[in-house]
Structure 1
Amino acid sequence: MYNHYIDTFLVVVACGSFHKASELIHLSSTGIQKQMSALEKSVGVSLFERGKKGSTLTGHGKMFLQECHRLIDVSEDILQKTRGLADSESAPIRIGTSLLSPIEEFNRICRSSASLQSYAMQMISLEHELNLDVSTGAESAEISFGIEPNIGAFDGTDFLPFTKYHLTCAVPVGHPLSQKDRLTISDLEGETLYFPSRGNPRFAMAFSSIMRKEHPEIKIVSPSVYYDLKSMNRCIEEKRIVLFLDCWNNIHPGLVNLPVEWDWTVPCGLIWKKDARKKVLDFIEDFRSIVTSPVT
């Protein structure tokens, strides 16, 4: 532990005598001498040459002075880190959400649990779809939403599924298929399906590979762009059908989201950094206990 007699030692060194130091720190000369004697006894060497004209440092005292300055710096650094950790643990959990996040189901789960409601949460707006940018700094989201086959693209992250959505097709308003209530595979023959792959390359690759093999009449285009309003506007301009999820019914007024007669589903869940602070990991475990509990 830090010895506060060191503070008195530094004052004595700066003043050059016990008497002058006593005037500065409002402690008697006798009291200061007792502190310095106790400090020397603790260190095991003499730190001062005491004389009628004042006190000067011995060789050991000079070395001790240098180490004291370093000790103070280290002590201050420890205090700042400790206080910073305490502040971090008390700070709200930052949840990243975007236009396409399954936030309604997340909210429903959180509201159903008194344990989850005990956590303070701060919503952070993300620019692009369902992913956590693990490279961002302290003000970034600590938890976000993701698609399971994509999680391997982010080193150091983990995934907890809590819902599943059907893959659908969003058809531009005015497109002949936009008048249908439901699409079949034969409806899509001769059409181009637009599947932005940035952020979910594994799922896009798996879907494209199977569709091209089993349904070569359907063209799949998977540019390395995000699912966002810009890519949706492009599909509308080019009259292309874009792959969607059934939870995205009201994302864009220019697109009609239609179910398709196929069995494609997408698991969605939380993603977070494995080295997240304790409060985040505690939240994840509480959330996990709820979504994995059997329904009674």
Structure 2
Amino acid sequence: MDLEAVRTFVAVAEAGQFQKAAVDLSITQQAVSKRIAALERTLGVRLFTRAPRGAEPTIDGQAFLPHARELLRVAERAVASVRVGHRPLRVDVIASRSAQSSLMRGFHYAHPEIALDVVMLFDIDTAVAAIRSGTVDATFRAVAAPGRPLPEDIESVRVFDEPLQLLTGPAHALAGARSVPLAELTGHRIWMPGIVPGTEWAAYYDDLVAAFGLTIEATGPNFGSDVLLDTIADTPALATFMSEHTRLVWPAGHGLRRIPVTDPTPVYPHSLLWHRDNRHPALATLRTHLATAAAGHDAAGTWRPDWVLPR
């Protein structure tokens, strides 16, 4: 159904005259008549009768009028949903307790006027596909994993290097340390269930193991952070890596310790990715916010894989 014809029908019904509707729509009276005639052919009914004072809707016209108005309202909402600046900015943050989520909360607090949708996708391939299809506007990822360069239409910028910490239970041999050099972790069992081969974080920890001779075990099912914390609290032989800005809550009786790792400090690099043709104005605002609010990267005394893009 031709929406312009529907719009013209509503204008005539409200004006009561073809001539006045033509003036209101800035078209000729002949164009109004043609549109109404075309709409009547489409519907198979007569919509107006000529009256001494203009045009009056027929019984069918009266029945169609509220639906015609609703069609125009729906069309306007549809246009508004994708109009630049009106659609919410949609950003992938990987996990709700992650540093990326904290960065987006900071952005929301700084710019509450910007409508925002936050989603959580699994791996970089899924996230990049979502960017290219327009499902999301941006994602936070560690780029680029070995042998997997970003497509040419995807832009990225490093925004934040997040230090890793060692998380132990109260009976672990390192639980009393105020900090621990990375080399001293050799021989300790670091348990990280949920590392999926082929993902960017799997590539990160593979390089960390190779560079420093660590023992990282990804055995067993991943039942989530609560079970991980329970196990670390109760098992003196196990520790795990946890990003510094990951938000964790555990029972007071667990007695867990978060211990800084030094000499060097392994950092997990976060980059913002987006499609180069994306014109959402809030995306530029987000990039500016991250450039001023997020910490720097490649600081002295830190380690990250060689494949991570330098900027």
Describe the SS at the equivalent of 2:164: strand
Task: Tell me if the contact between 1:183 and 1:259 (Cα under 8 Å) persists in the aligned partners.
Answer: yes
- The 1-side partners of 2:222 and 2:283 are apart by 28
Describe the SS at the equivalent of 1:22.
Answer: strand
What CA distance in whole angstroms lies between the structure 1 residues aligned with 2:227 and 2:277? 33
Structure 2 counterparts to residues 136-215 of structure 1, below 5 A: 142-149=137-144, 158-185=155-182, 187-195=184-192, 196-198=194-196, 201-209=199-207, 211-212=209-210, 214-215=212-213
Alignment partner of 2:97: what SS?
A: coil
| 1:221 pairs with one of 213, 217, 220 | 217
When residues 80 and 104 of structure 1 are mapped into structure 2, their CA distance, relative to the original with a 3 A threshold, is closer
1: distance between equivalents of 2:189 and 2:52? 84
What TM-score comes out, normalization by structure 2 length?
A: 0.53
The alignment partner of 1:161 has SS state of: strand
Shift of 1:22: 1.9
Structure 2 CA distance, aligned partners of 1:21 and 1:95? 54
The higher radius of gyration belongs to: 1
Higher alpha-carbon deviation: 161-170 or 4-13: 4-13
**Contact 2:80/2:86 (<8 A) preserved:** no
User: 1:100, CA displacement in angstroms?
Assistant: 1.8
What does 1:272-287 correspond to in 2, within 5 Å?
272=274, 276=278, 278-287=280-289
Deviation, 1:223, is 5.7
Q: In structure 1, what is the equivalent of residue 20 of structure 2? A: none
Count of residues in correspondence between the two structures: 237
Structure 1 distance, partners of 2:198, 2:259, is 21
Alpha carbons of 1:108 and 1:280: their partners in 2 closer, same or farther (altered >3 Å)? Answer: closer
Shift of 1:90: 1.4
Q: Secondary structure at the match of 1:260?
A: strand
Name 2:111's counterpart in structure 1. 117
Alpha-carbon distance in structure 2 between the residues aligned to 1:229 and 1:130: 21
Q: 1:4 aligns with which of 16, 32, 41?
A: 32
Q: Secondary structure at the match of 1:176?
A: coil
For 2:270, the aligned partner's letter is C
TM-score, normalized by length of structure 1?
0.55
2:99 is paired with a residue of what secondary structure? coil
Tell me the distance in 1 between the aligned counterparts of 2:90 and 2:215. Answer: 40
1:101 corresponding residue in structure 2: 99
Per the alignment, residue 55 of structure 2 pairs with: 27
Q: CA deviation at 1:99?
A: 0.9
Moved more, 175-184 or 264-273: 264-273
Deviation, structure 1 residue 234? 6.5
After superposition, give the CA deviation of every residue in 1:56-114 in whole Å (9 maximum; x if it has no partner).
xxxxxxxxxxxxxxxxxxx999877534423x631443455511225555656777xxx
Q: Is contact 1:157-1:273 (8 Å) kept?
A: yes
Q: Distance in 2 between matches of 1:181 and 1:223?
A: 28
Opposite residue 259 of structure 2, the aligned amino acid is L
Identity %: 10
Name 2:305's counterpart in structure 1.
Answer: none
Q: Distance in 2 between matches of 1:179 and 1:240?
A: 15
Q: 3-state DSSP class of the match of 1:178? A: coil
Matches of 1:235 and 1:25 in 2, distance apart? 84
Is there any run of 5+ residues in structure 1 with no aligned partner, and where? 29-74
Give the superposition deviation at 1:260.
1.9
**Cα pair distance change 1:128/1:158, threshold 3 Å:** same
Following the alignment from structure 1 to structure 2, what is the Cα–Cα distance between the partners of residues 182 and 223? 27
Task: Tell me, yes or no, if the aligned pair for 1:132 and 1:146 is still in contact at 8 Å.
Answer: no
**Aligned AA for 2:111?**
Q
| Matched-pair contact (CA < 8 Å) for 1:146–1:271 | yes
> Quick check: 1:160–1:288 contact (8 Å CA) kept in 2?
no
Q: Cα gap change, 1:179/1:101 in structure 2, threshold over 3 Å: closer, same or farther?
A: same
Which residue pairs with 1:63 in the alignment?
none
What do residues 128-165 of structure 1 show as CA deviations (whole Å, max 9, x unaligned)? 79998567799x86445433446969877543322222
Equivalent in 258, 264, 268 of residue 270 of structure 2: 268
Cα deviation code 1:212-254 (max 9, x no counterpart) = 4642xx3222469879415623652555211122334755454
CA contact (8 A) 1:163 1:269 kept: yes
Q: CA deviation at 1:258?
A: 0.9
